[in-house]
Amino acid sequence: MTRGLLHVYLGAAPGVGKTFTMLEEGRRMHAAGHDVVIGVVETHGRAATAALVEGLEVLPRRRVEHRAVTLDEFDVSALIARKPEWALIDELAHTNAPGSLTPKRFADVALLLDAGINVMSTVNIQHIESLHDVVEQITGIAQNETIADSVLRSADQIELVDLAPEALRARLSGGFVYPAGTIDAALSNYFRLGNLTALRELALLWLADEVDVALTAYRAEHGIGQKWEARERVVVALPGGAEGETLIRRGARIAARSSGGELLAVHVSGADGLAAANPGALAQQRTLVEQLGGHYHHVVGDDTPQALVDFARGVNATQLVVGVSRRSRLTALLTGAGIGATVIRESGDIDVHIVTHAAAGSLALPRLGGALTLRRQWAGGAIAVLGLSALTWAMAALRTDDSITSEVLLYQLLVVIVALVGGLRPAVPTAVAAGLLLDYFFVSPLYTVTIADPRHFLALLVFLVVAVLVSVVVDSSARRSRAARRSAAEAETLATVAGSVLRGQDALQALIDRLREVFSLERVTLESGGEVLYEAAEHAAAEPLAAEPIGRIAPDSVTPLVTAAETAVWIASGDGVHYGTAPNGAAHGSELPDGLAHAQAQASAAKAPEKSAERPGDATHADTQRTAYPLSESAQLVVVGRPLQASDRRILAAFLSQIESALVQRRLAAEAESMRPLEQADRMRTALLAAVGHDLRTPLSSATAAVSSLASSEVDWSDVDRCELLRTAEESLVTLAELVNNLLDVSRLQAGVLAVSRSEVGLDEVVPLALDELHVAPGAVVIDVSPALPPVVCDPALLQRVIVNLLSNALRYSPAGTQPIVGASAFGDTVQLRIIDRGPGIPPERLTDAFQPFQRLGDTDNTTGVGLGLALSRGFVEAMNGTLEAEDTPGGGLTMVITLPRGHQSSAEGDS
């Protein structure tokens, strides 16, 4: 079924005439003979709009009861049953009443398009998701109903209904838009001249972006390969707070203003697992990113700015959107440059946008961090506690008047050891504690903490400075050591991947397996067109879902309605069939919208309540996520497991590049394989023409010459001469008939239409018939075929022709004084017939070529045929479910082995 067309009328504000223009076009098409039906039109009490409805068929609305209120809703099922050529559906972003077939009107439109119905609809720019916050900022009014940009951009035609702001205000003042009682309030609020001018500019800019998208689609449709404009890839850094929505929408507008721009949002969390972000806010922002057609990523990194830059470089980003720092100026002054400044410094050729937001400038304490693991820090603390206790007890027992120098050095040594083991966090408290213990137990006056001598204070400062300096060196060394180990691991990983491919493993499967192992993922799948091409999983696959959707729309057919990470589904339940969207690969009802989840739960309970719908690797715990990476060749790589760190992106990018290359090679190999039959057919035609031009000419010329001579009246032929000419003509015509029959048999084999009549027959019956056909003298062939052998299942006529072909070759190539041998034996469910000669044989590397049509392996004797004998023989045997193979004869020569299925009867039973 051909999918319907979608024509959308876009307006900058209410009252510009979208519905009026849609109705005018509907009336024009109705007058031209098209079947036009009004599905739903909101006239808002405007007389001119209502007048245009007259004369057109209007579909009755469906009444829905909701909270004791009766609502009139669009009846999509009735319109599908009516199936007009064109349907007029007003207000594309409208939210349907609870209990409707779909939650949104644009989902209703998708069902109509899938049913082959063309649709005209309307929408205002304040309902476009990427412009939502801008319109709210301009007008001060928030819109509750929004529609994803991808839904609108997927329309076949978008027409801007433009009206100058002054003209719209004049129309509003004349009472053509709103009732008289609301005109003054509208003019002084939403419909101010500045507001309308800004909204009009937004509409024009958005539509200008649509022109670029349409141009890109045109180039793809017509195979225009020249690159007209580089693709923008915008990365939005999400700090984890409410300001993320502002950043996402700004990034979406930046991406939308470029041709085919891509939006990616990333949140960086610390490696210690302590999340300072708001999980609820991040979940909402992820949904918003997917609604805007983007992709959400979660990475782990010790250094947030560096992690952002690493991620941006890993995905080839061109622009990076970062929110202005939340820290106050005092905090920034004390702790150094913030994330934004560091990102700008490290970004290189990536453009960085610093976006202000409501949370900017708030006070936030800096986080302590380092390259040492928490386990080492705890070990350093333990050494400090135990070491201070033991050292203080020992030195107090051995204290003398002149031992202060040794006591200071021993405390200093302990501080250095703690710093080497645990880094800064345990070393600083250890240095302070050591200074206090030294003053309390070993400096006069004893057992008091009194710093009367400035030298004691200086000693305490030295303790602290040494602890900090050693900790910094240890931390830097740990970072470099970890980076070196990671670089070595990455190099080893890439070498392993290359080795797997070079050792002959399937390139794609090797890459998928190594990727899962390297990052310890639960499952990695390579998908194309909804089909899993390759998969590497930690666990075996679980049982299939107990209740499957009764209908599923292919992702490419519902692009206007769902994001790249969703699939449209219908779910059957006790209260009907529900429609909605679910994440790609959704395994259970909790991942579906509320109505669909309820429907699927009922369906699952009715069908197989004991079965679980969960799949291994789709765990929903906090440290597991499912991420899809788009690839070329219309494929995507889906990984399920822990969030990947920003530093993982480089090696991940290498894996993705290798997988894309393997996909291209796979496609090229498939195309080359698909061309192989054409190549073989072309070679067959060439050989056939050569055979017809040469090998068939000889018998045809001989027969023609003989018949012409007999028909000549100029020569008086004797009876002997006349008999000789007739014999020549007869032999030439028989040879010609055999060649033509062989060519026809080859054609039948190639087309798979060779007639085969199988029956059970004994080899001791077929072999003598072949010898009779060859007119072989007694003793010229050694026959070793026992009558006690079981019969074979074959076509006796075809088997006889095979034996004749093979035995004639054996006789021809057998040296003088030797006889070919025909032997047979039974092996399990098969019977083998062997034709053995002592001739020159065939080189092992040419055995396969011997069975190709028109191949004589250098034989220049053109009196023996066109090289079809072995090809036909193998084709006949395979048509009888057998095999024909060539082997070297021990001591020299060639052995042809015919293997056929064994019959059920014994030889005696077959004779009776």
In this predicted structure, the answer to whether residue 336 has a pLDDT above a threshold of 60 is: no
In this predicted structure, the answer to whether residue 544 has a pLDDT above a threshold of 50 is: no
pLDDT of residue 326: 59
Name the token pair of 863.
Answer: 């009196």
627 closest CA partner among 522, 720, 552: 522
pLDDT of residue 485: 66
Question: Mean pLDDT highest for which of 557-566, 753-762, 776-785?
Answer: 776-785
> Can you spell out the DSSP letters for 210-265?
HHHHHHHHHHHHTT--S--SPPPEEEEE--SSTTHHHHHHHHHHHHHTSTT-EEEE
Phi–psi pair at 204, nearest 5 degrees: -65, -40
In this predicted structure, the answer to whether residue 312 has a pLDDT above a threshold of 50 is: yes
7, HSE (Cβ side, Cα atoms, 13 Å): 16
In this predicted structure, the answer to whether residue 366 has a pLDDT above a threshold of 50 is: no
455 closest CA partner among 469, 468, 431, 439: 439
576: left (phi over 0), alpha (psi -120 to 50) or beta: left
pLDDT, mean of residues 781-810: 89
In this predicted structure, the answer to whether residue 234 has a pLDDT above a threshold of 70 is: yes
pLDDT, mean of residues 367-373: 55
In this predicted structure, the answer to whether residue 791 has a pLDDT above a threshold of 60 is: yes
pLDDT of residue 350: 85
For 823-869, write each residue's pLDDT tens digit.
Answer: 998 877 899 999 999 888 888 777 776 776 655 544 444 444 445 67
pLDDT of residue 564: 37
DSSP conformation class of 95? B
Structure confidence at residue 688 as a pLDDT band (50, 70, 90): low
pLDDT, mean of residues 427-456: 76
Structure confidence at residue 735 as a pLDDT band (50, 70, 90): confident
Q: Name every residue whose Cβ is closer than 8 Å to that of residue 867 and which is 6 or more positions away in sequence.
A: 687, 691, 853, 854, 855, 856, 859
In this predicted structure, the answer to whether residue 898 has a pLDDT above a threshold of 90 is: yes
pLDDT of residue 760: 92
Sheet with 830-836, strands from edge to edge, namely 782-784, 821-827, 830-836, 894-901, 883-888
How many helices and strands in the chain, by DSSP H and E?
A: 27, 27
pLDDT of residue 561: 33
pLDDT of residue 813: 85
Name the token pair of 544.
Answer: 């299939």
In this predicted structure, the answer to whether residue 451 has a pLDDT above a threshold of 80 is: no
Residue 164 vs residue 494, higher pLDDT: 164
Question: Mean pLDDT highest for which of 44-58, 131-145, 743-757, 861-875?
Answer: 44-58
Structure confidence at residue 47 as a pLDDT band (50, 70, 90): confident
Name the token pair of 862.
Answer: 């053109």
pLDDT averaged over the chain? 75
pLDDT of residue 85: 93
831 closest CA partner among 895, 773, 904: 904
pLDDT of residue 508: 78
Residues 290 and 299: beta-carbon distance below 8 Å: no
Name the token pair of 754.
Answer: 């060779």
d(CA 852, CA 854): 7
Cα dist from 338 to 258, 321, 324, 346, 835, whole Å: 29, 15, 9, 12, 87
Phi–psi pair at 131, nearest 5 degrees: -100, 0
In this predicted structure, the answer to whether residue 38 has a pLDDT above a threshold of 80 is: yes
Name the token pair of 647.
Answer: 């530093």
Residue whose pair of structure tokens reads 């999509």 in the numeric block:
76
Question: Model pTM greater than 0.75?
Answer: no
pLDDT of residue 752: 60
pLDDT of residue 543: 36
pLDDT, mean of residues 276-299: 81
124 closest CA partner among 143, 110, 141, 108: 143
In this predicted structure, the answer to whether residue 227 has a pLDDT above a threshold of 70 is: no
> Can you spell out the DSSP letters for 840-885?
----GGGTTGGGSTT--TT---TTS-SS-HHHHHHHHHHHTT-EEE
Cα dist from 800 to 540, 760, 764, 814, whole Å: 53, 14, 12, 21
Strand partners of residue 462: none
Structure confidence at residue 399 as a pLDDT band (50, 70, 90): confident
d(CA 232, CA 641): 29
Structure confidence at residue 900 as a pLDDT band (50, 70, 90): very high
pLDDT of residue 290: 85
d(CA 271, CA 275): 9
Structure confidence at residue 592 as a pLDDT band (50, 70, 90): very low
Report the residue count for the chain. 912
Lowest-confidence pick of 278-287, 360-369, 460-469, 586-595: 586-595
In this predicted structure, the answer to whether residue 797 has a pLDDT above a threshold of 70 is: yes
For 632-675, write each residue's pLDDT tens digit.
Answer: 767 888 888 877 776 677 678 778 888 888 888 878 888 888 88
pLDDT of residue 33: 92
For 13-28, write each residue's pLDDT tens digit.
Answer: 888 989 999 999 999 9
Cis peptide bond prior to 426, omega within 30° of 0: no
pLDDT of residue 720: 86
d(CA 813, CA 272): 82
Name the token pair of 216.
Answer: 């890109």
Helix (H, G, I), strand (E, B) or coil at 819: coil
Q: Which domains occur in the chain, in start order?
A: 6-221 (3.40.50.300), 233-355 (3.40.50.620), 374-480 (no CATH), 549-610 (no CATH), 696-750 (no CATH), 755-911 (3.30.565.10)
Sign of the alpha-carbon dihedral angle for 873, 878, 879, 882: positive
Residue whose pair of structure tokens reads 């109903």 in the numeric block:
145
d(CA 374, CA 639): 28
Structure confidence at residue 470 as a pLDDT band (50, 70, 90): confident
pLDDT above 90 as % of the chain: 12
Write the single-letter amino acid at 876. Answer: F
For 561-587, write each residue's pLDDT tens digit.
Answer: 333 334 433 333 333 333 344 444 443
pLDDT above 70 as % of the chain: 71
Sign of the alpha-carbon dihedral angle for 600, 603, 609, 612: negative
How much of the chain is in helix, strand and coil states, percent to nearest 5? 50, 15, 35
> Can you spell out the DSSP letters for 360-394?
TT---PPPP--SS-HHHHHHHHHHHHHHHHHHHHH
Residue whose pair of structure tokens reads 């293997």 in the numeric block:
899
